[in-house]
């Protein structure tokens, strides 16, 4: 995987999200945020995540989707349960993954972070392939950017979020870096 001058990695599937914008001027990427996501909830392998991040989610095909009307979110990366990596937003731009958030007294974590979604939920373990690819992607990102901290979504938005959840093995992941 090589990072091009536009912030896209080679060797991953690219699906461009419109849910992105420019980072504030002179902002350095220093935080990596790990999430989990599944659409419909606790179902894996479908197109729901891609559709959500590209504003093409058909709200009438699942009851849960109705509450996502008008939601505009994205992440830089998704790692599917198979280990496939999808990139939605170039690293140089701000993805809309953190929402209202704060890390070490600094608000608006989207401004200075990269987001990685793991296809999963708070109720099932992640796959071997996901840990391998997450480790590899994280090491590549750390080589490219001055990332000082790696946190879960729950760490930056503890009153709203629980992901990556209790089944995420932080020690295993951090040891792999």
Give the pairing type, strands 20-22 and 106-107. unpaired
144 is an active site residue: no
* Three-class secondary structure of residue 20 per DSSP: strand
CA atoms of 136 and 19, how far apart (whole Å): 25
From the list 22, 84, 117, 119, the catalytic residue is: 117
CA atoms of 29 and 132, how far apart (whole Å): 23
Number of separate helices (H) and strands (E) present in the chain: 4, 10
DSSP string, 78-131: EE-TTS-EEE-S-TTEEES-S-S-EETTEE-GGGGEEEEEEE--TTSPPPHHHH
- Tokens at residue 31, please? 């935080």
Question: Catalytic amino acids?
Answer: 117
């Amino acid at each position: 995987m090589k990072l091009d001058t536009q912030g896209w990695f080679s060797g991953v599937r690219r699906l461009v999200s419109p849910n992105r914008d420019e980072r504030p001027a002179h902002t350095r990427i220093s935080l990596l945020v790990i999430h989990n996501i599944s659409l419909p909830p606790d179902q894996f392998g479908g197109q729901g995540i891609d559709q959500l991040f590209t504003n093409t989610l058909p709200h009438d095909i699942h009851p849960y989707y109705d509450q996502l009307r008008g939601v505009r979110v994205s992440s830089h990366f998704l790692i599917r349960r198979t280990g496939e990596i999808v990139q939605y937003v170039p690293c140089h731009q701000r993805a809309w993954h953190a929402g209202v958030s704060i890390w070490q007294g600094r608000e608006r974590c989207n401004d200075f972070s990269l987001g990685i979604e793991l296809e999963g939920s708070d109720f099932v373990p992640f796959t071997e392939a996901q840990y391998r690819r997450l480790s590899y992607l994280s090491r590549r990102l750390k080589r490219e950017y001055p990332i000082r901290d790696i946190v879960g979504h729950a760490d930056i938005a503890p009153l709203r979020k629980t992901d990556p959840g209790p089944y995420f093995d932080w020690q295993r992941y951090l040891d792999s870096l």
